[in-house]
Amino acid sequence: MNLQAFTAHNLQILRRPTAVGPYTSIYIATSSNAAERSPAPIHLKNAIADVEERFIDRGHSASEARAYLSPLRRALAEEELWRSHPPGLAFFLSSGELSAFRMNRPPAYSVWFGDHFRMLPIFAELTEAPAYYLLAVSANEVTLYHGDDDDLRPIAVDGLPRGLADTMSLNPATPLIQIMNTAHGATFHGQGAQVDHRKIDLHRYFRAIDEAIRPSFNGGDKPLLFAGVEYLFPIYRQVNSYANLLPIRICGNPERMSTEELRLRAVEVLAAVRRKQPERDLARFDDSVGGHKTCSKLPAIIHDARNGVVDTLFVAAGEELWGRYDEASGTIAYTQAEDPLACDLYDLAAHHTWTHGGRVHVVAPDDVPQQATIAALLRYAPAEVLVR
């Protein structure tokens, strides 16, 4: 069985409604020491027995339960899976479909069987491996890539210029003028009209690139990272129309870098950006306190998340709170995890936040705003704010 890394793209696939429920989510820690016998196979065997009992309790027959769980039993028998030794494993099963992921941290053992996958334990993993775009530009080559922490792949783009010569108004043999960055932007050095033409050429070049790559983003918001020599980036920023172009770049001529070198440098740059994102969102939360755009009451947060109002959700790492949420009344009946109709309410809030395009940060308990275990920054103040 192929173990995948958690990425935002993989999470989106798991969220698609094409899979048929019920849904099983299993998190188990493994031994990272090859000399030790991993407890993971025993945990998975116990989880299968647990899910089988719950499946039958829902009114299914024993033969239906065996058929539903057969992909997990095949995984249990794969010795190669247990020799991989990642810190943790996560399994997601719907009818006939099983996905297995390696985790960067050992998770607490948990089994969830319900109406959607339980995803909260992996949101901390997602902050380490989001999908992104990388635009590598030089005077002679342009390539758009799609990547994550594990892979970087070129994207075929119709109409993408092959290089600056494709859009030049002057003779391509004319030397490129010198361009220097100043506090006021790019400064062009050369001879009169030649400077003006070269400036026009570079803007035309980047406008053609921007127009060609725009359909590849499909209206999404994955970060776009620019790779190129220093003077090109401020010029590209002037014509770029993609909302999530990162303000930092990979420096250097990408023609002299292999795809693997570009990937490694992208991982380094994006890691720095991701480490700062929770800080930026916490600052936004603090700035919004008092303006009815923040909330730390769980029933209201779930209601707002279901309606696409939550912009950013903060959840304390390691927290669970089980209960039944009544969608009609918006009320919660708190229960134990063993309740077959209960769900982790923090996971439910994260589920709806992510589904509607919000961000979810799993942070240290002391970093959750307002000394709470869950808090939300809203896109706008809800109409019923006075009754909260």
Gyration radius (Cα) of the chain, Å: 25
Domain boundaries of the chain, sorted by first residue: 4-118, 132-276, 289-387
CB 107 within 8 A of CB 27: yes
The DSSP line for 27-61 is EEE----TTSPPSHHHHHHHHHHHHHHHHHHTT--
pLDDT of residue 25: 94
The domain 4-118 is classified under which CATH number: 3.40.50.300, 1.20.1250.20, 1.10.3720.10, 3.30.960.10?
3.30.960.10
> At a CB cut-off of 8 Å and minimum separation 6, what does 77 contact?
none
How many CA atoms, within 13 angstroms, populate the side-chain half-sphere of residue 52?
17
Other C-beta atoms closer than 10 Å to the C-beta of 256 total 8
Hey, is 8 helix, strand or coil? helix
At residue 52, does pLDDT exceed 80? Answer: yes
* Burial of residue 320, with CB atoms counted within 10 A of its CB: 0-12 exposed, 13-18 middle, 19 or more buried: middle
At residue 173, does pLDDT exceed 60? Answer: no
Q: Which residues pair with 134 in a beta bridge?
A: 145, 225
pTM of the model: 0.65
For residue 384, name the pLDDT band (cuts at 50, 70, 90): low
For residue 17, name the pLDDT band (cuts at 50, 70, 90): low
* Predicted confidence (pLDDT) per residue in 193-244, tens digit: 455 567 788 899 999 999 999 999 987 778 999 999 998 999 999 999 998 8
* Burial of residue 34, with CB atoms counted within 10 A of its CB: 0-12 exposed, 13-18 middle, 19 or more buried: exposed
* Predicted confidence (pLDDT) per residue in 266-309, tens digit: 988 888 887 788 888 999 999 999 888 999 999 999 999 999 99
Hey, is 132 helix, strand or coil? strand
Strand pairing report for 4-5 and 97-103 = parallel
CA dihedral 353, 359, 362, 368 (to 10 degrees): -90
At residue 179, does pLDDT exceed 50? Answer: no
CATH no. for 289-387: 3.30.1330.30
Quick one: which of 147, 138, 144 has its CA closest to 159? 144
CATH 3.30.420 fits 132-276, yes or no: yes
Quick one: which of 1, 22, 25 has its CA closest to 350? 25
- Percent of the chain scored above 70 by pLDDT? 85
Residue 163: its H or E element: none
Question: In the structure encoding, which two tokens stand for residue 261, read together?
Answer: 């070198």
- DSSP class of 229: -
For residue 176, name the pLDDT band (cuts at 50, 70, 90): very low
